[in-house]
Amino acid sequence: MRLSLRFIAPLLVLLAAFAWALTPFVDRQILGWFVRDLDIRARFVANTVQEPVRELVEAGDVTRVRQYFARLTSDERLFAVGYCRPGGGAPITSPLWPSDLGCDRLPALDDPGGRNLASPHGALHVSVAPVTLSDGTTGTLVLVHDMSFIDRRSAETRKYIFYLFTLLGIVVSLITVAIAQLSWRGWVNGLRALMRGEGLLRPANKDTPELTPVARDLRELIRNIETAHRSRAEEHVAWTPESLHEMLEGPLRGQQVIVVSNRQPYIHEREHGAVVVRRPASGLVTALEPIMRACSGVWIAHGNGSADRSVVDRRDRVSVPPESPSYQIRRIWMTPEEEAGYYYGFANEGLWPLCHIAHVRPTFRTTDWEAYVKINQRFADAVVEEATSSDPIVLVQDFHLALAPRMIRNALPAATIITFWHIPWPNPEAFAICPWRTELLDGLLGSTVMGFHTQFHCNNFFDTVDRLLEARVDREMFTVSFQSSLTTVKRYPISIEWPTPAALISAPIAACRATVRERHDLPAEHAIGVGVDRLDYTKGIEERFRAVERLLELRPEWIGRFSFIQLAAPTRTRIEQYQDYEARVRALARRINDRFAGATHPPIILAIAHHPPSAVYEYYRAAELCFVSSLHDGMNLVAKEFVAARDDERSVLVLSRFTGAARELPEALIVNPYDADQCALALHLALTMPDSEQRDRMQLMRALIREFSVYRWAGRMLVDATDLRRRERVPERQGFLA
């Protein structure tokens, strides 16, 4: 409306001024026309009455002349008639003759225009005509017309002009408003399209040529931003929460970002009657939270806390972080049966062992699958409900939600869906044992981008799709084309926060060493190795203990001088395989400790509990080595956390070659966890490594983690999402070029 007023107000002012200026001109014009009419009429009347007037005048009967004149003035226009004798003197007149009009004040006989006269009766028009008498002299017939009707007409005309201009104003305003609204909408749509990247690559936009200069400027701007971001991504410039923020304020400004994961970033628990908020220690939350904070997005996750339901609003939402709310968690609820089927059953007893080569058979049950489908649909429906536009950016996390991308795609075809698979992808033979293999692949191929930690996992995914689906796999372009949609399959190695939060590394190394040794009753010079894991059979904890045992066999000088401390967080404890695994790990630790019972200090210290993050970092900083012996691991963040914790650039990482991390940290001592001798040798090497070599290795690994932090992981996915969104909007030229 304001926009319309901007057009209408000046228009109305202009029209009013124009009408104002036009009125005197119209008045003058009307007067001119009427005066001309009166002159013509006067000439006509004069010609008609000339003969009778001449006869009456020559008869010398003044009374009859007056009576004749009085009759003539019965015409409403003719105000008065008079006759001036050739010799002058008082005129013979009709009754209403203006008293101040004498024969000496008449217009000249040769003046065809007559003269206007003001009188107490109003405006009058005086015209004259000669009356030639038989003696050859010429008298003057004077016709006085009433001009007051002209004033009346003028007033009427002014009124009509006013009506006309008012009507004109209304009509022109309506047309202007309509045109203004249409063109404004066109402009705004055009600009929006340009900002989304549409038409930016066309040399000239035929439909909206006026946007061409804007498109040029925008192209320039995008190029600059892209160069900055690409250099950040490709030239190893550090990504930070601030650069993620910049990205969301720049190319992705105004775009809605929705994260979908099984695990939530904040859990509300009821403790002793009060509600407490917990933040799970998770790399995923660390990486995605800056994005959520920057764009006030929505994070959809399973509400599994005991007080989760009591803090949400009508739409199952709660604002977080509690100290400064900046985004929302939308909680998904499930019954214990649904959770048992979807989470414990299909995800953790089916997909988890299916994707990890750990020699644990996957279990597939139809009821679990049905719960998995149902819950995936519930997550997808929540995405659709939360979407405020037709094309949000949706970040789907992990193997719990393999079907959600296709479900979201079906409801929101223009969405940009980035799915990240946090665990390994197996080879086609292994994957093919899943009874719902094609459904899972179809679900994942609803994604715009499918991300894995390593190129090896991407290649396995390509092979699986190639083998099991009627799809076109283009390994050169990293794409899979399936059912007329394209999925880009790329590697995005996850990482950790850099720098490490100060609170986790504030205690000096010497203090950590002393505290940990004191806690376990170990002497100050006792060597310590550390392992930190969820108590999961993929982590190779048994192999790790066997390697320690082998070290003591091969290098007995370490008996009583070296202990391996294993922090193990209980996980998925409802699943039988996990219960068995814990029992086996406990028994093995006991057996090895019994075997070396004669030593002053036990070789294995097993601490099965959820340890606070500060305690985990204290152990990292106290140890001579960290041993990660996963049998198969997508990435393994413990390896990176350990390196980041060692700001003294000492200590050694012994790392399984079957982790994604091994591809990024070749300076670690890379081992095969199944080869106990090799692992034992690596432990010995680590315990005897000179300080300078420790420093060299640590420096290289720390430099890598600094550059390739978790912010880069999230940032690169967003950069690619931005590129793909723009590319999708470039007009399809294939047909044109063919």
Tell me the closest approach of the beta carbon of residue 628 to ligand GDG, in angstroms: 8
- The DSSP 8-state label assigned to residue 326 in this structure reads -
Q: Residue length, the chain?
A: 738
Rounded CA gap, 478 and 462, in Å? 9
Q: How far is the CB of 399 from ligand GDG (least distance, A)?
A: 10
Q: Which is nearer to ligand GDG, 82 or 451 (CB)?
A: 451
Q: Are 241 and 711 in contact (CB under 8 A)?
A: yes
Smallest distance from ligand GDG to CB 534, Å? 5
Within 108-137, the residues that bind ligand GDG by CB under 6 A are none
Q: Of 641, 664, 667, 720, which one interacts with ligand GDG (CB under 6 A)?
A: 641
- Please report whether residue 654 would count as binding ligand GDG according to CB under 6 A: no
Site for ligand GDG in 202-231 (CB under 6 A): none
DSSP string over 179-200: HHHHHHHHHHHHHHHHHHTTTT
- Determine, following the binding rule CB under 6 A, whether residue 665 of this chain makes contact with ligand GDG: no
Q: Looking up tokens 């979407």, which residue turns up? A: 387
Binding to ligand GDG (CB under 6 A) within 677-716 occurs at none
Furthest-apart CA atoms within the chain: distance in Å: 172
Does the footprint of ligand GDG cover residue 457 (CB under 6 A)?
Answer: no
From 114, 241, 265, 283, residue interacting with ligand GDG (rule: CB under 6 A): 283
Q: 710-729 vs 283-295: helix axis angle to the nearest 10?
A: 50
Q: In angstroms, what is the minimal distance from the CB of 580 to ligand GDG?
A: 18
Q: Which stretch binds ligand GDG (CB under 6 A): 27-35, 287-295, 604-612, 729-737?
A: 604-612
Closest CA to 198 of 186, 187, 189, 210: 189
Q: Is 494 in the site for ligand GDG (CB under 6 A)?
A: yes
Instruction: Give the whole-angstrom CA distance, residue 416 versus residue 577.
Output: 38
Least distance to ligand GDG from the beta carbon of 619, Å? Answer: 10
Least separation in angstroms between CB 323 and ligand GDG: 20
Q: In the complex with ligand GDG, which residue's Cβ is closer, 83 or 425?
A: 425
Give the binding-site size for ligand GDG (rule: CB under 6 A). 22
Among 66, 125, 422, 550, which residue sits at the site for ligand GDG (rule: CB under 6 A)? 422
Which tokens hold the place of 144? 């006085």
β-pairing verdict for 92-93 and 78-84: antiparallel
Nearer to ligand GDG, 538 or 593 (CB): 538
Q: Which one among 637, 655, 681, 701 touches ligand GDG, defined by CB under 6 A?
A: 637
**Contact between 281 and ligand GDG (CB under 6 A)?**
yes
Does 638 engage in binding with ligand GDG (CB under 6 A)? yes
Selected range binding ligand GDG among 228-236, 607-615, 689-697, 704-712, rule: CB under 6 A: 607-615
Taking the complex as a whole, the smallest distance from the CB of residue 280 to ligand GDG amounts, in Å, to 9
Give the nearer residue to ligand GDG in terms of CB position, either 317 or 534.
Answer: 534
Cβ closer to ligand GDG: 68 or 346?
346
Residue 502 CB, nearest distance to ligand GDG (Å)? 17
Asked whether 447 and 418 are in contact (CB, 8 A), the reply is: yes
Which has the closest alpha carbon to 564: 589, 582, 539, 587?
589
CB of 617 to ligand GDG, least distance (A): 9
Span of 217-225, 633-641, 648-656, 677-685 interacting with ligand GDG by CB under 6 A: 633-641
Report the C-alpha gap between 621 and 647 in whole angstroms: 9
With contact defined as beta carbons under 8 Å apart, do 650 and 699 qualify? no
Element (H, E) at 122: strand 122-132
Give the x/- contact pattern for ligand GDG in 305-344, rule: CB under 6 A.
----------------------------------------
Q: Does 499 bind ligand GDG (CB under 6 A)?
A: no
- From the list 305, 290, 202, the residue with the least C-alpha distance to 248 is 290
Q: Site residues for ligand GDG, window 423-442 (CB under 6 A)? A: 423
Closer Cβ to ligand GDG, 479 or 636, answer by number: 636
Closest CB 538 distance from ligand GDG, rounded Å: 7
Q: Choose, by CB under 6 A, the member of 47, 613, 688, 699 that binds ligand GDG.
A: 613
Of residues 360, 635, 643, 662, which one binds ligand GDG by CB under 6 A? 635
Half-sphere exposure of 254 (CA within 13 A, CB side): 5
Q: Tell me how far, at minimum, the Cβ of 355 lies from ligand GDG, in Å.
A: 9
What SS3 class is residue 300?
strand
Cα separation, 86 vs 292, in Å, equals 110
Q: How far is the CB of 547 from ligand GDG (least distance, A)?
A: 18
Residue corresponding to tokens 């498109």: 215
Residues 381 to 410 in contact with ligand GDG, rule: CB under 6 A: none
Establish if 634 lies at the interface with ligand GDG (CB under 6 A). Answer: yes
- Sheet of strand 562-569: strand arrangement: 604-608, 562-569, 527-534, 625-628, 652-656, 669-671
Residue 356's contacts (CB-CB under 8 Å, 6 or more residues apart) are: 423, 424, 426, 538, 631, 632, 633
Stretch that binds ligand GDG, among 190-198, 383-391, 610-618, 670-678 (CB under 6 A): 610-618
What would the two tokens of residue 112 be? 């065809």
The whole-angstrom distance between residue 2's C-alpha and the CA centroid of its chain comes to 27
Q: Which string of x and - marks every residue 523-562 that binds ligand GDG (by CB under 6 A)?
A: ---------xxx----------------------------
Is the CA virtual torsion 68, 71, 75, 79 positive or negative? Answer: positive
Say if CB 541 and CB 568 are below 8 A apart: yes
Q: Whole-number minimum distance, CB 454 to ligand GDG, in Å?
A: 10
Q: How far is CA 599 from CA 81, 563, 604, 625, in A?
A: 151, 11, 12, 21
Element (H, E) at 310: helix 308-311
Q: In a 3-state reduction of DSSP, which class is residue 175?
A: helix
Q: What is the DSSP letter of 219?
A: H
Nearest 10 degrees: Cα torsion 232, 233, 237, 238? 110
d(CA 730, CA 197): 7
Please pick, from the candidates 16, 554, 559, 569, the single residue that binds ligand GDG as defined by CB under 6 A. Answer: 569
Compute the least distance from the CB of residue 378 to ligand GDG, in Å. 23
Task: Note whether 657 binds ligand GDG by CB under 6 A.
Answer: no
The conformation of residue 673, written as its DSSP 8-state character, comes to: T
Query: Minimum distance from CB of 570 to ligand GDG (Å)?
Result: 9
Q: Which residues bind ligand GDG (CB under 6 A)?
A: 281, 283, 422-423, 494, 532-534, 567, 569, 610-613, 616, 633-638, 641
